[in-house]
Chain A
Amino acid sequence: MSLPSDRRVFLIRTGLLMGSVLIGWGGFLLFLRYGAADGLDAMDLVRAALILISTFWLAWGALQAFAGLTTRPPAVPRHDGPITSRCVILVPVYNEDPAATFPRIAAMDASLRRTGSAERFHIAILSDTRDDTVAEAEQRGFLRLLNLTGAEGRIFYRRRDNNRGRKAGNIEDFITRSGAAYDLAVILDADSLMEGATMVEMVRRMEADPKLGLLQTLPQIVNAQSRFGRIQQFAAAFYSPIFCRGLAMMQGRTGPFWGHNAIVRVRAFAESCGLPELSGRPPFGGHILSHDYVEAALLARAGWTVRVDDDLTGSFEEGPENMVLHAKRDRRWCQGNLQHSRLLTAPGLKPWSRFVFVQGILAYLSPVIWLAFLLCSIAAPVFAPPIDYFPIEGWRWPVIPVSHASKALALAICIVGLLFLPKILILIDAALRGRARGFGGAGAAARAVGAELLFSALSAPVFLMFNTRSVLQVVAGVDGGWPAQTRGDGTMTVAESWAASRWIVISGVLGAALAAWLSPALLPWLAPVLLPMMAAPLIIAWSSAPARSPLFQTPNEAAMPEVLMLDRQFRAIWQPDSKVVRISAA
């Protein structure tokens, strides 16, 4: 099977979009019938409209999973000969701990040497670090890296004088100074790890398809230690490949770029992806924060193909170890995605690229829409017209309105189904096809999926509040800046969790009080949202603790990939005073 044709891609996109709109419309009608039981009022229409958008968005995600479950990766152009391109691996760092970043680079270099193609690759560490102490540690670390790898002349280090353009500006600075020396560039993050064989395979695919401007891999989360981190790691390993498969079926020539663990054609990137500063002030103006989506759109605009190949393995990253770090990262992404609203009318973009921007915006607006729906539901009795027990003129007996609560229940079941069904289908698929073996077998995978669903249900209201705050901050014009990524242990005490989430607890208590006052009948319906909000500090603290259970095993733990083992070995010998040992590349 070859790459999907443009016509097929168009049909898949249209089918999934129509299906999502239909499901959203079904939710809209069901809610209208529920609301019409005691007479339709303005609040019913507002709530039905909110349900329409939210259900569409949920259905869109669910149908993407169905598309992923029912298709197989297409064959892509590649060759088996020696690679001829000049390649560079770009590792942008920004106040990162060199003792964590540099062993990864050493591991990737060793993994590349084992492929026999290391001489085709240079590695450039592009420092944007502002902290002089960290910068000194980077320089010492770089010398130590050269000492460990013996890769003088192949591994470079440079520190910028300023941070213009942040990460995108850092890459641009490299290309404008050194880009002509290379044909292809593998773009990484400071926490990225890639197998040498994977990078060589990516180069082969780029060489076999001269129109391919960017090739993205699906990075797997690794090295998670906390309960939260391991749940995320499991979810990324178990569900994401299926969702990514669905995405790949829809991408056509306008696939995604997630900013790292991808390879670009340097000339295409240089010609198409110079990012201007947007007019106006941050958060909507200034530097483009989520540059990756924009770069993918610009490459597609210039006629280059952008693709995610979901069959590529050996691509890894690390994730946040607790919910607060996750929410902080989401704050940045939220601002970046909402800023894309400025680019919806950018000249010449492909319609799908514009739709990708809309998706990103909806991803962050969707929780706000849910919250608005809940608040409208609490306030609905205030707007409801008084019940007319004598609607028939001349009829002397009162008419009791028929309850349509069953329709609300049906709608709730449908919504929960849209959330849970894709994951359950992925579990069944994994059990039937044997993919569950890497997760400890079908039984262990089922237990992990059950626990993940339970944790998702508990953590969703907390994330809903963090997300809503982020959106409100951005809309209010508060710039989140460019905070360095915090990585590492991530354990939080209940006191620290309380400090980070007390406003969520207070919001939950106020919400419960408001519901008890205005709509007491709603309280049981609101309990799954309000109770986790009130328990937010406990959920955050519990999930940040180190995981001790073997639950949430992933294939990368069952059989550790080579580059992860190399990373561990280099980390072990990285201590400054330990004896330098070169790890065999043989």
Chain B
Amino acid sequence: MNDLSGIFQADPDSLALQQSTPPEAPMAMPPQVLEQRPRSVLSFVLAAFRPARQPSRGV
């Protein structure tokens, strides 16, 4: 039996709606940083020692 579905569309309105979607052309939209990360008291205390914990430039 011949397949006539490509010639006679069952629901032309449905097909028109399917073909009506905007073009596929993705573009990244990264979320922006709007809130400062809360810093604990400990992080303030440790801040003074931070250079000592960092590797030297030569490493």
Contacts and interface: CB of A to CB of B under 8 A. Distances in A.
A267 B27 CA distance: 8
Given A158-B22, A347-B33, A143 B27 contact: no
Contacts of A346: 33-36
Interface residues of A, number: 42
B25 A347 contact: no
A302 to B, nearest CB: 9
Interface stretch (B1-9, B12-20, B50-58): B12-20
Q: Which 9 A-B pairs have the closest CB atoms?
A: A179-B27, A181-B25, A180-B25, A276-B31, A178-B22, A274-B29, A274-B31, A156-B22, A180-B27
27 contacts: A88-B22, A124-B22, A143-B13, A143-B17, A146-B16, A146-B20, A152-B20, A156-B21, A157-B17, A158-B22, A175-B27, A176-B27, A177-B25, A178-B23, A179-B29, A266-B27, A270-B27, A274-B29, A274-B31, A275-B32, A276-B31, A288-B34, A294-B34, A298-B32, A345-B36, A346-B36, A347-B34
Given A143-B13, A174-B22, A276 B28 contact: no
B18 to A, nearest CB: 10
Contacts of A172: 29
A264 to B, nearest CB: 12
Interface string A280-303: 000000001000001000100000
A142 B20 contact: yes
Interface in A390-442: none
Given A276-B33, A278-B35, A294-B34, A180 B26 contact: yes
Contacts of A275: 31-32, 34
User: What is the predominant secondary structure among interface residues of chain A facing chain B?
Assistant: helix
A279 B27 contact: no
Interface residues of B, number: 20
Contacts of B26: 176-180
User: What is the predominant secondary structure among interface residues of chain B facing chain A?
Assistant: loop
Interface of B: 13, 16-17, 20-36
A156 B31 contact: no
Contacts of B22: 88, 122, 124, 156, 158, 174, 177-178, 181
A160 to B, nearest CB: 11
A164 interface: no
Contact of A157 (B20, B24, B31, B35): B20
The winner among B31, B34, B36 for most chain A CB atoms within 10 A is: B34
Nearest to B21: A158
B29 A176 contact: yes
A50 B20 CA distance: 56
A132 to B, nearest CB: 15
Interface of A: 88, 122, 124, 139, 142-143, 146, 152, 155-158, 172, 174-182, 266-267, 269-276, 278-279, 288, 294, 298, 342-343, 345-347
Contact of B36 (A157, A178, A278, A347): A347
Given A270-B27, A278-B34, A345-B36, 13 more contacts: A88-B22, A122-B22, A143-B16, A157-B17, A158-B20, A158-B22, A178-B22, A178-B23, A178-B25, A179-B27, A275-B34, A298-B32, A342-B35
Contacts of B21: 156-158
Contacts of A266: 27
B9 to A, nearest CB: 14
A288 B35 CA distance: 12
Contact of A270 (B13, B29, B35, B36): B29
Contacts of B33: 276, 346-347
B34 A276 contact: yes
A142 B31 CA distance: 32
A343 B13 contact: no
Contacts of B30: 271, 274
